[in-house]
């Protein structure tokens, strides 16, 4: 989904990398040409703001520069993962059965998740069925906290999700899995019925044809040499 980071510390200036990793949304909004090109090149999916502090940014860049398999010694550990949420509550929030505390629009108005409702969700935004595996926990948590996407900023800019709502939605997305479409049985039944009817009609036609042939043979046999008298006396 995103660019390969191998060699990025030699390709980009470290000061720019620090700014971009610390606040990618602000760098993109500033009209930075590199950020704008990356945004266009990678399907217009913005890098979420991960909320890293300066020590974490430095440790990450040192790791990328060194090409090590493990972070450098003394690096500050990443922030603890967000607490688990309630997937059933997340589903209700997504579907609009429960309203968001700060007045945000229900997710289902623009998005779909497999099995969420008989008629499905909206199509304005992308299908979110696999967003948990596509984004990963850290990026998904950041996306729910900041909602940096262009179509969502006007809707949630003044109505951010509460931490609990973020946790519940994250738990719901983790639980969501693609579902195979139901098999359409009606066409199969109709085709089978039509085939059976055709077979019965064909069998009946062949039977009548065979019976007619037998009758003709009997009549021909009866009329040989004696006519109908052979059969009456």
Q: Domain segments of the chain: what residues?
A: 8-66, 87-175, 185-223
Q: For residue 67, what pLDDT is reported? A: 65
Which CATH class name applies to 8-66?
mainly alpha
Q: For residue 223, what pLDDT is reported? A: 65
Spatial separation of the C-alpha atoms in residues 177 and 183, rounded to whole Å = 18
Length of the chain, in residues? 233
Q: Does domain 87-175 have CATH number 1.10.3120?
A: no
CB 64 within 8 A of CB 9: yes
Spatial separation of the C-alpha atoms in residues 123 and 129, rounded to whole Å = 13
Q: For residue 217, what pLDDT is reported? A: 63
Q: For residue 229, what pLDDT is reported? A: 47
Q: For residue 181, what pLDDT is reported? A: 47
Helix (H) or strand (E) holding 80: none
Spatial separation of the C-alpha atoms in residues 162 and 171, rounded to whole Å = 14
pLDDT digit string (tens) for the chain, length 233 residues:
577 788 888 888 899 999 999 999 999 999 999 889 888 888 788 888 888 889 888 888 888 888 644 555 555 555 555 567 999 999 999 999 999 999 999 999 999 998 887 777 888 889 999 998 888 887 788 888 888 777 888 888 889 999 999 999 999 999 986 654 444 445 565 667 677 777 777 776 666 666 566 556 655 666 665 554 444 44
Q: For residue 68, what pLDDT is reported? A: 46
Residue 196 neighbours by CB distance under 10 Å? 10
CB 51 within 8 A of CB 79: yes
Q: What residues contact residue 186 under an 8 Å CB cut-off, 6+ apart?
A: none
Q: For residue 69, what pLDDT is reported? A: 47
130: nearest Cα among 112, 148, 146:
112
Report yes or no on whether pTM surpasses 0.75.
no
Q: What are the beta bridge partners of residue 127?
A: 112
Spatial separation of the C-alpha atoms in residues 119 and 112, rounded to whole Å = 10
Q: For residue 10, what pLDDT is reported? A: 86
DSSP letters, 125-142, are S-B-TTHHHHH-HHHHHH
Residue 162 neighbours by CB distance under 10 Å? 12
């Amino acid at each position: 989904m995103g660019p390969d980071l191998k060699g990025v510390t030699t390709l980009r200036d470290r000061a720019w990398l620090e700014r971009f990793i610390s606040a990618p949304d602000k760098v993109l909004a500033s009209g930075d040409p590199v950020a704008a090109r990356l945004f266009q090149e990678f399907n217009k999916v913005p890098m979420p703001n991960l909320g890293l502090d300066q020590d974490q940014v430095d440790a990450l860049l040192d790791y990328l520069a060194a090409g090590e398999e493990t972070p450098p010694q003394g690096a500050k550990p990443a922030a603890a993962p967000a607490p688990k949420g309630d997937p059933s509550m997340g589903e209700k929030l997504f579907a609009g059965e429960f309203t968001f505390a700060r007045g945000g629009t229900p997710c289902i108005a623009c998005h779909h998740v497999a099995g969420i409702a008989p008629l499905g969700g909206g199509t304005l935004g992308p299908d979110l069925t696999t967003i948990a595996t596509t984004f990963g926990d850290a990026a998904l948590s950041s996306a729910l906290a900041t909602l940096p996407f262009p179509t969502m900023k006007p809707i949630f800019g003044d109505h951010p999700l509460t931490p609990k709502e973020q946790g519940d939605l994250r738990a719901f997305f983790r639980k969501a899995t693609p579902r195979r479409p139901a098999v359409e049985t009606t066409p199969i039944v109709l085709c089978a019925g039509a085939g059976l009817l055709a077979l019965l009609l064909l069998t009946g036609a062949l039977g009548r044809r065979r019976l007619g042939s037998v009758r003709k043979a009997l009549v021909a046999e009866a009329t040989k040499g004696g006519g109908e008298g052979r059969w009456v006396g």
